[in-house]
């Protein structure tokens, strides 16, 4: 004779604390242990029809918990191996397809600083703030000017920098590999 579903569910939850301690023994983390117990109880409810009365319910639950932990662990190991292999393949592709930009060595950092120093403060400050990652509206609030003015000043700074660094412009173009 099978146990009534409500009685079975009640019996399941009487072992929750024991399952939690057992799960922590495997995971060494309270949240992971709680997740493991929850998954165990869900599986027990799902497969309750297969549970025969007279079988040791606690032992059955602990077996489900242990098997669930081992299956999840195997999945994580396989995923980690797959991710490492994918990363290694990607890195090999990157290294085999890499090309070096000779413009770096031809464009002197001092020239860039000189070009920046030639900018007036009204163009320099918004450009540098934008370059550092600030948003237009943040720069506008800090300088207490309209956002359109910030955009214009950044645009004008770019034009001036291009003009002052024109001697290097041909060195940064991508050349055809054919």
The pLDDT assigned to 149 comes to 93
pLDDT at 73: 79
Between 168 and 59, the higher pLDDT residue = 59
What are the domain boundaries of the chain? 5-96, 103-167
* pLDDT at 35 exceeding the cut of 70: yes
Residue 11's pLDDT is what?
82
Q: Which residue has the higher pLDDT, 162 or 153?
A: 153
For residues 88 and 84, give the distance between their C-alpha atoms in angstroms, rounded to a whole number: 6
Percent of the chain with pLDDT over 70: 73
Query: Does CATH number 3.30.930.10 belong to domain 5-96?
Result: no
- Nearest C-alpha neighbor of 36 from the set 64, 76, 10, 12: 64
* The pLDDT value given to residue 153: 92
Q: How confident is the model at residue 107 (pLDDT cuts 50, 70, 90)?
A: low
Integer-rounded Cα Rg, in Å, for the chain is: 32
Which stretches within the chain are classed as H helix?
5-14, 16-27, 30-46, 57-96, 103-106, 109-117, 121-131, 136-143, 147-164
CATH node for 103-167: 1.10.10.10
pLDDT average, residue stretch 53-69: 87
């Amino acid at each position: 004779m099978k146990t009534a579903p409500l009685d079975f569910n009640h019996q399941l939850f009487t072992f929750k604390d024991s399952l939690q301690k057992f799960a922590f023994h495997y995971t060494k983390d309270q949240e992971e242990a709680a997740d493991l117990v929850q998954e165990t109880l869900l599986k027990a409810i799902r497969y309750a029809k297969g549970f025969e009365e007279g079988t040791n319910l606690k032992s059955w639950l602990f077996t489900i918990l242990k098997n669930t932990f081992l299956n999840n662990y195997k999945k994580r190991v396989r995923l980690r191996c797959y991710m490492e292999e994918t990363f290694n393949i990607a890195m090999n592709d990157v290294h085999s397809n890499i090309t070096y930009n000779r413009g770096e060595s031809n464009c002197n950092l001092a020239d860039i600083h000189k070009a920046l120093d030639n900018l007036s403060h009204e163009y320099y400050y918004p450009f540098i703030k934008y370059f550092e990652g600030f948003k237009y509206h943040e720069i506008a609030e800090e300088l207490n000017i309209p956002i359109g003015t910030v955009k214009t000043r950044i645009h004008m700074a770019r034009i001036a920098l291009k003009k002052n660094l024109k001697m290097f412009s041909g060195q940064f173009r991508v050349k055809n590999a054919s």
